[in-house]
Structures are given as C-alpha cells and as structure tokens.
Amino acid sequence: MHAALKASGVSFEVIQAMEINPTVLSTYMHNFPDTFAAPRNIESITAEEINELNINVIVMSPPCQPFCRTGRKLDIQDARSSSLAHLLSILPDVNFQYLLVENVKGFEESDARDALIDAVTKCNMHWQEFLLTPVTVGVPNSRLRYYLLAKRVDLKWCFEPSKTIMTGVPMWGSLEMPYGPIVTDHKEIWREYRTQAEKSGNINTELGPDEWCVGDILENGDMDTYAIPTKLISKYGIAMDIVSYDSVKTNCFTKGYGNFIKGTGSYIAQVKVDDDTVLGNPDGDIFDKLVTMKLRYFTPREVARLMCYTDDFTFPPKLSMKQKYRALGNSINVYVVAILLSILLSD
C-alpha cells in the first residue's frame, strides 16, 4: 500500500503502519525505515487511538483466507476475520475521509462484505466496488482482486459511479484521467525493462510499444538455482502453467509458489516449444518435451516486477527464498492500487 501511494503521485505521509506478520513487517521496515511500523494486532486498537493519530485516509488488506476459492470459505465464522470485524465495529467512531479495501475475489459475496458496506454507510460515506486484474491495465499477470473505494458523501467522485461492481478502470485511455502521470511513469519503467530485454533477446517483436510481455521483466544471468527438478516435472508437469518470453499473461502467484507446484503461479520455458507439440501430441513423450523446455521458477525479483514494484524495493538479506515468495504471494499489485488511490483521492 505504501509503494502504491508513492506510485500514485499523491502527496502523503504514512502516520502509522500496522502488521503482525514478522516477515512482512521486517520487509516493510527495510524499505520504509522512516515510517513508524507497529507490530500490532488490529483487534487491540480502539477508535480513540486512531483518532489521536489525526488521519484522513485508511488503506487495508484484511486476511483473505476466509474468502478464497481454495479455502473452506468460513467467512465471518473464520477466526482470521476477527480483525476485520473488530475494525468495522469501531470504524463509525473514527474520524477519517477516505477508505480503500483490497481482498480476493469471493469477498464480494461474503457476509464480511455486507458488514463492510454497513460500516461505511454508518460512516456517512458513499462507495464504489471493483473486481480488477492487472491484465486490464496492460500488466502480463492475472491477479483478480476485489476493491472497495469509499469517501465521505460531501466529497465527489472523478467518474460516474455505478451501483454494481465495476470490472474496468474508469476513463481508462481517456485524456481526462486523473492518474495520467501514473500511466506515464509505469510505461517508462516497463520501457526500461524492455531495453534490458532487447539486449538479452527476451522480447516479443509482435507487440506494440505500450504492450508488455513476460520477457520484459526477466532477469539475466545464471538461473540454475531456479530450475525445476525433473522429478517435479515428471509428477506435476502436465498441471503446470507454462509461459514463454513472449507470453502476455501469467497466472496469479500465491504464497505457496516455490513450495507447491500446482495452482501457485506460472513457470518459464527457457527454450520455446509450441504448445501443441507439448500437450496435444499423443504420439510424443510429454515428459521429454517438458524437460527440453528447461523450465524454471520466476525469481522473487521477477514476481515483484509483475506486481509492479520498482527495483528499489528489496528484501532484508536474511530472508529465505520461501519467505520472499510467501510475502509476495500475499501482496497487492502496486500499479492497480496506485490507480485506484488516485481515483479515490481525486474529485
């Protein structure tokens, strides 16, 4: 959220950040050492404490496990919803003007969502809900997420709101976008990646100058560390989402990436082989062809780039590879949230 605020171009100061996961907290403090980050359990905070901070914007990403498709979907009955439930119970007594909430697809159908809408209504706010994926704004990564923007009723929207969930970015492509500088900066970052890709040959020559592919964000150098063992290819290869340098979409990366194979993200074929010769040829040996593709994991830096973190975002030196993947899997797409923050804070 802090990285998205920086990317939004909005003038801001983070008064306080709160996080209970030690890995994420250490990563946050490593990247934003001048911000006060509290190792805080949200369930212990009071409205009076928040009001003493004199804030006007709240951004949050509550635990998603109670609502995600791979979980039990216990909703508000899940103990991991208790922090959100507590915060919603005190929100009407908090003095603030703007709110952004992020969660997984599925949250929009939950009782927790109804409690959220009830809370923002009691706060005398109007709101807009979204279901957005980075692919919508040109990023080659699928990460469909629920977002809610809310502001006080006396503050106007910079777009025409809808009573239904929006699945596109308001005014995307319009010259009147309030977030034009964000789009420009993002394109400059990816053009820099494109320049690197051109030097290494990892480029899709069929794409236009403002279209991005996997090859644009790949690191150079020895990638043997990230090679997928042949025993995993033999066991799970047919279920893997395999992409090449010129792919314009990757699967959502989860906290299980690097630890589990199926359904946790995409894998790179360092040697391109046509899809129909790999998965659609009953006469061929699929395993041999998969091995020929020299499959590897995306590196943490590459996953971070797909989530639109700039390269000045780094991890503390002592974090393991597993911890890095877990932290990224629980993260947001910086570019999408930056756009939404700009929309929220514009009138």
Q: What is the mean pLDDT of the chain?
A: 90
User: What are the phi and psi torsion angles at 322 (to 5°)?
Assistant: -60, -40
CATH 3.40.50.150 placement within the chain: 2-179+331-344
pLDDT in tens, 271-324: 876 554 444 444 457 888 899 899 999 999 999 999 999 999 999 999 999 999
Query: Could you tell me which residues are beta bridge partners of residue 126?
Result: 151
Contact status, residue 342 vs residue 178, Cβ threshold 8 Å: yes
Query: Could you tell me which residues are beta bridge partners of residue 330?
Result: none
pLDDT in tens, 146-194: 999 999 999 999 999 999 999 999 998 887 888 888 999 999 999 999 8
Q: What is the pLDDT of residue 180?
A: 87
Question: Mean of the pLDDT values across residues 66-71?
Answer: 66
Q: What is the pLDDT of residue 77?
A: 65
Please confirm, yes or no, whether 64 is among the known catalytic residues: yes
DSSP state at residue 219? P
Q: Is the pLDDT of residue 254 over 50?
A: yes
Q: What is the pLDDT of residue 284?
A: 52
| Pairing relationship of beta strands 241-243 and 295-297 according to DSSP bridges | unpaired
Q: What is the pLDDT of residue 277?
A: 46
CATH class, range 182-329: alpha beta
Q: Which helix (H) or strand (E) holds 339?
A: helix 334-344
Q: Quick one: which of 1, 328, 293, 303 has its CA closest to 147?
A: 1
Q: Is the pLDDT of residue 110 over 60?
A: yes
Contact status, residue 295 vs residue 240, Cβ threshold 8 Å: yes
Residue burial 282-298, b: 16+ Cβ < 10 Å; e: rest: eeeebeebbbebbbbbb
By CB atoms closer than 10 A (0-12, 13-18, 19+), residue 160 is exposed
Kindly give the interhelix angle for 111-122 and 82-90, rounded to the nearest 10 degrees. Answer: 20
Q: Which helix (H) or strand (E) holds 127?
A: strand 125-132
**CA-CA distance, 115 to 62, in Å (whole number)?**
13
Question: Mean of the pLDDT values across residues 131-143?
Answer: 95
Contact status, residue 318 vs residue 22, Cβ threshold 8 Å: no
Contact status, residue 218 vs residue 200, Cβ threshold 8 Å: yes
pTM of the predicted model, to two decimals?
0.93
CATH 3.90.120.10 placement within the chain: 182-329
Q: What is the pLDDT of residue 76?
A: 67
Contact status, residue 3 vs residue 309, Cβ threshold 8 Å: yes
Distance of CA 158 to the CA centre of its chain: 24
Confidence of residue 71 (pLDDT cuts 50, 70, 90): low
Contact status, residue 332 vs residue 4, Cβ threshold 8 Å: yes
**Superfamily covering domain 2-179+331-344:** Vaccinia Virus protein VP39 (3.40.50.150)
| Active-site pick, 64, 213, 252, 308 | 64
**CA-CA distance, 193 to 190, in Å (whole number)?**
5
User: Is 339 or 109 the better-scoring residue by pLDDT?
Assistant: 339
DSSP state at residue 20? -
Least confident of 56-70, 94-108, 255-269: 56-70
Q: What is the pLDDT of residue 198?
A: 83
Q: Is the pLDDT of residue 200 over 90?
A: no
Q: What is the pLDDT of residue 275?
A: 52
* In the chain, % of residues over pLDDT 90: 70
